Structure formats: structure tokens, C-alpha cells
Amino acid sequence: MTLRYSRVIPAAVLLILAVVGILLLELPAKEVEVPPEHMYGIVLDAGSSHTSMFIYKWPAGKENDTGIVTEHSQCHAEGGGISSYAGVLGGAAKSLKSCLDKAVKDIPKSRHNQTPLYLGATAGMRLLKIDNTTETERILKEVENKLRSYPFNFIEATILSGQHEGAYGWVTVNYLQENFAKYGFAGRWLNPGRKTTGALDLGGASTQITFQTSDKVEEGDNMMELKLYGQSYRLYTQSFLCYGQDQFLRKLLAHLIKTQGVKPQVVHPCYPQQFKMSIKLGMDVFDSPCTKSYKPDKFDPQMSVTVVGTGDYQSCQAAVMKMFSFDNCSYSKCSFDGIFQPSLKGNFMAFSAFFFTVRNLFSLNNITIASPSKMEAAVQYVCNMTISEITETTKQPEKYMKNMCVISLFIKVLLTKGYRFDELSLPSISFQEKVEGASVGWSLGYMLSLSNMVPAESLSLMKALPPGPWAGILFLFIALLLFALGYLLISLFNTINKEGPV
Ligand SMILES: *[C@@H]1O[C@H](CO)[C@@H](O)[C@H](O)[C@H]1NC(C)=O
Ligand SMILES: *[C@@H]1O[C@H](CO)[C@@H](O)[C@H](O)[C@H]1NC(C)=O
């Protein structure tokens, strides 16, 4: 009897161990199935020139999977950016109404109170804050009250720093390209250790460059450390205030007025020949912190000035170059205006105004800007066109198309002279508006980061095991199970044989 139990017990213990082991490996990796209902999130991108609303959605309970969040819909608010309502009580709040009403209809009612609502304001509000802090705070508060009056889960209405704007854009790009981690079969995280893509954003009032670097970041303000799915990323990020396309145009105009003197006419080499437009010195030129250093001592802000285009590529380039300062670098290397920048690394994605300008440039002359010389040729071609040639080819309003030459030249100088993209690195930039149907910009990355949908820690160790070791351990437990079963059978067989039939 004692002999019999002493053989069966260890075998039974082994058997239980093996079964428990297999269950432990298999069970946590299988997600509980949930009905395919969606969750939603709303981000208002309050830019300097206008506000856009993005509604995102993802399958309920799967928020931590990469690449699972998609864009449900978007809405463009009428009128200017919220900063343009300085001094207009209720104006900023009213400008958001039509988009928020659309969100109420777009999102199923049962999900309203679980839908996070964020508003991030960027360089337009950063500039207003330099001029008038109290008015900036008042607009933010007014907008917040408006957002709170809707049935959603209001999270915040805030001004993003330039560094955060850059970093969130980078998160969006790499999330949409699934560069962070992949949710593999059997519900386990596989980290492919893929290279990340740098982000280039061009707005109305600022521009951002952000990329992963292993170089020493010599200026603390340019350094951002992110932890996503348990991995650390060291980013270099820089936001250039006043280098968004609208503020850049203002600065260029201010520079030309300063050099030519305050007169009823200003000659502008970057506008097409025979092109004329009328501007007001205050509202259109000098009412901005970006043009402060060009301000004449005495001028009438109400004075109208006629801008006359000459379509002169060389003079335009010379004027555009003057807007950048390439000396006085106190670090080992700089991009421009004395700002540190490590060596460019990896591929880049350029979006927002970069994308729209390059798309229009291509539609005008079919030249892909695969090298600095091709880019030069493409821009030169456009700068020699008349305004009617441009509008007829692109089928877009003169309001935007008049700036094709100057904005293309600005982008060319910014990328090749400012950031120093060259023969090798310029072709690594892909100009895109969307990836997998979602708009590329900072707003998705902002929502993902604030809602912890790109968690800092990796998910449970069990899920994080790469497929190789995981399969190995499973194999060991199965071998143990077979061994225990065999042992148990043999010892039972032996005992029956020994005792023999009764
Ligand atoms: C996502 O990850 C965060 C942080 O690890 C965790 O708190 C949250 O519960 C996770 N959500 C899901 C649905 O797994
Ligand atoms: C800020 O803006 C408000 C509203 O336009 C105005 O009344 C106030 O004088 C401004 N303050 C400064 C310091 O410019």
C-alpha cells in the first residue's frame, strides 16, 4: 500500500503542475471577448488660423492595442482661430458650436458621458499670451465653459507647449505606422523594435521638428523622453514660433516695408508679376509679436499699403533667407536662429501645410522633390507663373494660391538651409496628409498620451514574452504533462500487475 501511494503521489503532483502551467500560459493571453461596440474621443485642435475637431473611435476594451484607434469624423469650425476672438466676448465659444453639435449627433448617445473631450490650443494662443495674458486666460475659460455645457467627459482646454505639440505629432506618426509595438496572435505584445519616423509639422504660427536621436541633446529644452509600451524613446524636438506660414508671411512683409520705407506701395518679389493686393499696416503686418523688431517708430496702423508683385525668384530667395539667422551658434551644431539641432536621423513624415504646399507644387509642374536641386527647379517654375496660370491649373482660390511661390520657397529654405536636409536625407521625407485614413497632426498623439492609451509600462510580463521563449516554456510544460501521464500510467499498471487479480 505505502509503496503504491509513494509512486502515484509525485506523478499526480507533476500532472497537476503541468496542467496549471499550461493554463497559466494560455489563459491570461486570451482577452475576454467583448461585443464590438466602439468607444469615442474628441479632440479640438485650436490652431492660429482655424479650429478643427477630430472624433476618434476604437473597439471597447482594446484601447491599449497599437494602431486600433481610427478617425471617425472631422469638422472644421467656421471663422478664425480662437485667438482671433481677442476682445470679442463669446466669439471663441460660439465658433465651436457647430462642430460640437455635430459631435453630439455623430457619437451614439449611450457613449456620450464616456467620451473624453479635449481642446489643445497652439501657437496662435501662445502669441496672444505674449501680448495679453488676461485676454488669453479669458478666452480659455470661455471655451472651457462652452465645452462643459456638452454631455461629454470634459478633460481639459489648454495651451500646448511647442515641445508637446512636436512630441504629440511624433506619437501620431509612429502610432499610425505601428512603429511602437504590435499586438500579435494569441493576444500577446510583440515588439518588433522598428525604427521610428521623425515628424515635421507646419502650422499658421509655428513649425515643429521632432525625431528620435542617440546624440547628446545639448539643450535641455529640446529633449523629450517618452515611455510608450514599456520602451523609452529619446526625442529631439524644437518648435519655431513665428515660423508658421502666416506669421512668416507677415515677417517677410514687415522686412520689405522696413527696407523700402513706409510708402503707399511696397514691391514684393515673391508675388506673381502684375499681382496686387491691399493690406493694412496694423492688422495685417505689425499687430503681432513676430513683427515687433521690424516696427517703424511712427506709423498709422489704419494705413493701407498696396503690395505689388514682381515675380523675381532670386530676389525672393534673398529676402526669404534674410528671415533666418545662420550665425551665432553656441552649441556644436545648430539649425538656425542659434537653436541646437543634432544630426538628422531616419525617415521623416511632413504633414499639414508641408503636405498641402508640396501637393500643389506637384500639381503645377509634376516634379517630385526628390532632391534639393529638383525642389529648386519646382519652386523656380512656380515663381515664374502668373496668378491665373496657377489658379487655373490647381483649381483653387487665389486667396491661397497667391502664396504658392513664397511658401514653397520658404519651405525649401527651411528644409534645406534651416534643418539641413541634403541629397541623401531630403528623399527620406514623405509628405502625407493621412495614414490609414487618419489625419496626421498632433491631436491623435495628444489624446493617446493623455488617456494613457500608449501606456508607459508594458502590459503583463506574460503577454510581453516574445513568441520564442513563450513557445519554449509551453513546450516544457507539455513535455512535463506527457511525462507525468506516462509515469502515472506505468506505476498504476505495475501496482495492478503486482497485486494481481483478487
Ligand atoms: C491600458 O494600460 C493602462 C496602463 O498600463 C491600464 O491602466 C489600463 O487598464 C489598460 N487598459 C486596458 C483596456 O487594458
Ligand atoms: C487685453 O485685451 C483686452 C480685450 O481686448 C483689453 O481690454 C485689454 O486692454 C488688453 N490688455 C493689454 C495689456 O493689452
Q: How far does the centroid of ligand 2 lie from the alpha carbon of residue 253, in Å?
A: 26
Are 205 and 334 members of one domain? yes
CATH of the domain at 111: 3.30.420.40
Looking at 159, 184, 211, the residue that finishes a domain is: 159
| Strands in 204-264 per DSSP E | 206-212, 223-228, 231-241
Whether 165 is a known active-site residue: answer yes
With cell 491599449, the residue in question is: 64
- The annotation status of 458 as a binding-site residue, yes or no, is no
**Which ligand 2 atom minimizes the distance to the CA of 87?**
5
Instruction: Give pTM, 2 decimals.
Output: 0.84
Q: Do 21 and 462 touch, CB atoms closer than 8 A? A: no
CATH of the domain at 191: 3.30.420.150
Q: Do 140 and 159 touch, CB atoms closer than 8 A? A: yes
Nearest CA to ligand 1 atom 11: 64
| DSSP code at position 74 | E
Residue 32 has what pLDDT?
Answer: 46
Are 22 and 42 members of one domain? no
Residue 100: all three cell numbers together: 460640437
Let me know if residue 440 belongs to a domain.
yes
pLDDT mean values, one per 10 residues, the chain (502 residues): 63 71 60 64 98 96 86 97 98 98 97 97 98 98 98 98 98 93 61 86 98 97 92 95 98 98 97 96 97 96 98 97 96 98 98 97 91 96 96 94 98 98 97 96 97 79 50 75 80 71 49
Q: Measured from the CB, is residue 455 less than 6 Å from ligand 1?
A: yes
- The annotation status of 121 as a binding-site residue, yes or no, is no
Looking at 159, 191, 206, the residue that finishes a domain is: 159
| Strands in 257-364 per DSSP E | 265-268, 276-280, 304-309, 348-352
One-character DSSP codes across 107-168: S-GGGGGG-EEEEEE-HHHHHHHHH-HHHHHHHHHHHHHHHHTSSSEEEEEEEPPHHHHHHH
Let me know if residue 455 belongs to a domain.
no
Let me know if residue 386 belongs to a domain.
yes
Let me know if residue 484 belongs to a domain.
yes
- The annotation status of 208 as a binding-site residue, yes or no, is yes
Task: Choose, from 165, 178, 433, 499, the residue flagged as catalytic.
Answer: 165
Are 75 and 7 members of one domain? no
Are 481 and 409 members of one domain? no
- The annotation status of 325 as a binding-site residue, yes or no, is no
Are 53 and 184 members of one domain? no
Q: Which residue segment(s) compose the domain that 13 sits in?
A: 2-28+462-499
Q: What angle do CA 441, 390, 355 make, to 5 degrees?
A: 15
137 alpha carbon, closest ligand:
2
d(CA 362, CA 354): 12
Let me know if residue 454 belongs to a domain.
no
d(CA 235, CA 305): 44
Let me know if residue 457 belongs to a domain.
no
| Widest pairwise Cα distance in the chain | 123
Are 82 and 62 members of one domain? yes
Let me know if residue 259 belongs to a domain.
yes
Are 91 and 170 members of one domain? no
Are 44 and 11 members of one domain? no
Q: Measured from the CB, is residue 31 less than 6 Å from ligand 1?
A: no
Residue 187 has what pLDDT?
Answer: 58
Q: Do 73 and 106 touch, CB atoms closer than 8 A? A: yes
Are 181 and 81 members of one domain? no
The count of structural domains within the chain is 3
Q: Measured from the CB, is residue 187 less than 6 Å from ligand 2?
A: no
Are 155 and 166 members of one domain? no
Q: Measured from the CB, is residue 61 less than 6 Å from ligand 1?
A: yes
Are 388 and 284 members of one domain? yes
Are 361 and 229 members of one domain? yes
Let me know if residue 451 belongs to a domain.
no
Looking at 112, 140, 159, the residue that finishes a domain is: 159
Q: Measured from the CB, is residue 460 less than 6 Å from ligand 1?
A: no
